[in-house]
């Protein structure tokens, strides 16, 4: 560990310290330390005793849990800058309820148990604000109230699970924008706007709306992501997503599984298809427009990869339509 710099800005971003006067923050800084976790570093494991309180100073932490039968731990959430963890274990003596890991890299401000209790004894405002924070969290959990403080969350998708990032933002009832970029931000691959815990708008490359979200699961992106919270009024949202956030994720997972089956039928995305029938025969009114668009491009031949670049629908929709045309012997 190294001595924490005398800079209270990151403490201000924490819901535990945001209302504290500067003299309290300085007292806390003097008694705490900063530690670094490298990529895949474990802060603590589920079931361990709690001896410290932590505040995320930079980077992000991954929350992993395992079932009672000891099944493999899975990521369930991420904690961004300003998030506090470990305070309940210090207050109740309970063991850690989850494993905490740094997917990429993180800095944490640490208060030892005796320092925590000393602050509780000597700074009544600290104890009072801790009670307020815990009560606010309980109220938010019980009544699904959006958290008032927007958290920064960022990293590289080599280390983070994008589905869990999205679930974290939905579960925290966040409003703001999630970006996925490459080339140090020069190339924007995806942009998702969240409003009160739902995905309101989505754009992934040339796709928008529901199809954009589905494509995130069907062709996973590589690059850096960052979420920035920003207040918004409902009248300014202009949503293009038709499903609630969790329903959208469940549908995305279902289509991802079905796409895997379709790819067994059409294993080569470079295979060129062409029309065999004189004219298109398609009975499903919900997808006839898509079928007509694909049919027209097959007049001179086209591969699946080429269709995915120009047709404004997710991979599942394109593969499903091609499979239907193959089954009826209209293309080959």
- Domain edges within the chain: 2-143, 153-256, 266-327
Q: Is the pTM of this model over 0.85?
A: no
- The b-or-e profile of 55-91 (16+ CB within 10 A means b, else e) is bbbbbbbbbbeeeeeeeebebebbbbbbbbbbbbbbe
pLDDT computed for residue 262 by the predictor: 97
Pull the structure tokens for residue 309.
């670049």
CA atoms within 13 A on the CB side of 223: 21
pLDDT computed for residue 42 by the predictor: 95
What is the residue whose two structure tokens read 């295979």?
A: 271
Quote the CA–CA distance of 231 and 278 in Å, as a whole number. Answer: 55
Using an 8 Å Cβ cutoff, are 290 and 321 in contact?
A: yes
Using an 8 Å Cβ cutoff, are 312 and 301 in contact?
A: no
Give the three-state DSSP class for 131. helix
Using an 8 Å Cβ cutoff, are 199 and 175 in contact?
A: no
DSSP E strand boundaries for the chain: 2-3, 33-37, 41-44, 52-59, 61-65, 74-79, 84-85, 99-102, 106-112, 153-156, 176-182, 187-195, 198-204, 207-208, 224-229, 272-273, 302-303
Q: How many residues does the structure list for the chain?
A: 332
Which residues of the chain fall below pLDDT 50?
Answer: 1-2, 4, 144-150
Tens-place pLDDT, residues 151-180: 578 899 999 999 999 998 998 888 999 999
Using an 8 Å Cβ cutoff, are 328 and 281 in contact?
A: yes
CATH of segment(s) 2-143: 2.60.120.10
Tens-place pLDDT, residues 5-41: 557 788 888 878 887 888 888 888 888 999 999 999 9
């Amino acid at each position: 560990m190294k001595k924490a710099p005398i800079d209270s800005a990151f403490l201000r971003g924490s819901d535990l310290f945001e209302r504290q006067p500067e003299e309290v923050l300085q007292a806390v800084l003097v008694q705490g330390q900063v530690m670094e976790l490298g990529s895949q570093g474990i802060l603590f494991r589920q079931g361990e005793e709690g001896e410290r309180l932590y505040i995320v100073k930079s980077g992000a932490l991954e929350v992993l849990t395992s079932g009672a039968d000891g099944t493999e731990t899975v990521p369930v959430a991420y904690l961004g800058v300003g998030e506090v963890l470990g305070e309940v274990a210090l207050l109740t003596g309970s063991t850690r309820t989850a494993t905490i890991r740094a997917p990429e890299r993180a800095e944490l401000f640490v208060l030892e148990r005796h320092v925590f209790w000393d602050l509780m004894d000597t700074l009544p405002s600290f104890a009072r604000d801790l009670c307020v924070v815990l009560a606010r969290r309980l109220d938010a959990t019980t009544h699904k109230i959006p958290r008032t403080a927007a958290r920064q969350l960022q990293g590289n998708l080599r280390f983070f699970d994008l589905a869990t990032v999205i679930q974290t933002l939905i579960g925290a009832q966040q409003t703001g924008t999630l970006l996925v970029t490459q080339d140090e931000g020069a190339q924007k691959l995806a942009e998702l706007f969240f409003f009160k815990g739902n995905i309101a708008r989505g754009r992934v490359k040339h796709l928008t709306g529901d199809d954009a979200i589905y494509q995130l699961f069907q062709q996973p992106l590589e690059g850096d992501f960052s979420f920035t919270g920003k207040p918004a009024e409902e009248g300014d949202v202009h949503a293009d997503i038709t499903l609630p956030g969790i329903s959208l994720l469940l549908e995305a997972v279902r289509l991802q599984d079905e796409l895997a089956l379709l790819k067994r039928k059409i294993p080569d995305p470079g295979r060129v298809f062409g029309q065999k029938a004189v004219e298109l025969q398609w009975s499903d009114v919900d997808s006839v427009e898509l079928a007509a668009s694909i049919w027209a491009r097959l007049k001179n031949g086209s591969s699946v990869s080429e269709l995915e670049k120009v047709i404004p629908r997710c991979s599942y929709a394109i593969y499903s339509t091609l499979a239907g045309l193959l089954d009826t012997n209209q293309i080959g």
